[in-house]
A = this chain, B = another copy of it.
Amino acid sequence: MKTVPPAVDRTLSMLRMMLLIRAFEEKADELFALGRVHGTMHLGLGQEAVATGVCAALKPEDYILSTHRGHGHCLAKGADVGRMMAEFLGKETGYCRGRGGSMHIADVSGGNLGANGIVAGGLPIATGVGLSIQVRQTGQVCVAFFGDGAANEGAFHESVNLASIWALPVVFVCENNQYAMSMPVRKSMRVARISDRAAAYGIPGMTVDGTDVLAVYDATEAAVALARSGGGPTLLECAAYRYKGHSKSDRQRYRTRDEVEAWRRRDPIAQLRARLIAGGVVIDADADALEAAARSAIDAALRFAEESPEPDPASLLDGVYA
């Protein structure tokens, strides 16, 4: 899968990004525990390498469509942490003026066309973004993130098929975290790899280790290159794992502690950190410093969010229509 090893600075910035995503979600978890989050949320702790590796292979003008588990995608695509935290807490300064919240954070100007509360809901939309790129001939690419469970929705089938026949510049990135809520992948489909489904559309399918950010980056780079050159879509499956429950109501009866532990031993951040230290790129102290920097960036973001005003109830109907 590996082509040339990505430049060291890029690798370092991927480490920084993964640390930022983790710090954001650990803070989110903490805030929820303190009863300071309205509603529910979906954490991607353990999946940081997928969002990071994929978005690192994109240009700022490229698009992504995200999911309900989208904090990582949003940050990796370059969102401002403060406005994101503000949206997470429903503040007027948030990306969606507090209307969207965790499940709908969108950074349209930054190319993130939105998290989505509907499983596979972003996939049909991704075909349209691809069509728009193709019709306007802008040379951009669109990445559509979705989960293993989403691969069983009709929308997945229709969308990948449409993108394939029109050779749209869309990369379908399946974040296979082994479960759809309580449903294990092996029980929800009779194929060994979700990327096997690429065969139904005559497009390339790949499965990579989603805990290895460099592997994810390289695979995405190849898929993006194909898409930009008019070669059409790729189905890229990234195998990873979510450490936390599906959402806040999850008692996790469907999996064992041992399974969780086994995956935690493959932690994407620890992996890269060890690799960089072994490669002599950084020493422990540098890595610790990066981690501390991520934490303080999140603290600053939280302060911004907390100091931000709540939306005015009188603005309830703003933005229903253009």
Residues of chain A whose beta carbon lies under 8 Å from any beta carbon of chain B: 152-158, 161, 164-165, 187-192, 196-197, 199-203
Nearest B residue (CB) for A187 = B165
With A190-B202, A196-B200 given, can you name 5 additional A-B contacts, CB distance below 8 Å?
A152-B158, A154-B158, A189-B202, A196-B199, A199-B199
Within 8 Å CB of A155, what residues of B? 154
Within 8 Å CB of A157, what residues of B? 152-154, 156-158
Can you tell how many copies of this chain the complex includes? 2
Pick from B152, B158, B188, B192: contact of A153, CB below 8 A: B158
> What's the minimum C-beta distance from A67 to chain B, rounded to whole angstroms?
18
What is the interface of chain A mostly: helix, strand, loop, or mixed? helix
Bound-complex Cα distance A200 to B192 (A): 10
> What's the minimum C-beta distance from A227 to chain B, rounded to whole angstroms?
15
Within 8 Å CB of A153, what residues of B? 154, 157-158
> What's the minimum C-beta distance from A134 to chain B, rounded to whole angstroms?
16
Could you list 30 examples of A-B contacts with CB < 8 Å? A152-B161, A153-B154, A153-B157, A153-B158, A154-B154, A154-B156, A154-B157, A154-B158, A156-B157, A157-B157, A157-B158, A161-B188, A161-B189, A161-B190, A164-B189, A164-B190, A165-B187, A165-B188, A165-B190, A189-B201, A190-B201, A190-B202, A190-B203, A191-B199, A191-B200, A191-B202, A192-B202, A199-B199, A199-B200, A200-B200
Within 8 Å CB of A197, what residues of B? 200
Bound-complex Cα distance A165 to B197 (A): 15
Nearest B residue (CB) for A203 = B190
Bound-complex Cα distance A75 to B175 (A): 48
Bound-complex Cα distance A157 to B150 (A): 12
Bound-complex Cα distance A156 to B156 (A): 11
Instruction: Decide yes or no: A191 and B201 within 8 Å by CB, A154-B155, A161-B152 being known contacts.
Output: yes
Give me the 6 closest cross-chain CB pairs, A-B, nearest first. Answer: A154-B154, A190-B202, A157-B157, A200-B200, A197-B200, A164-B190
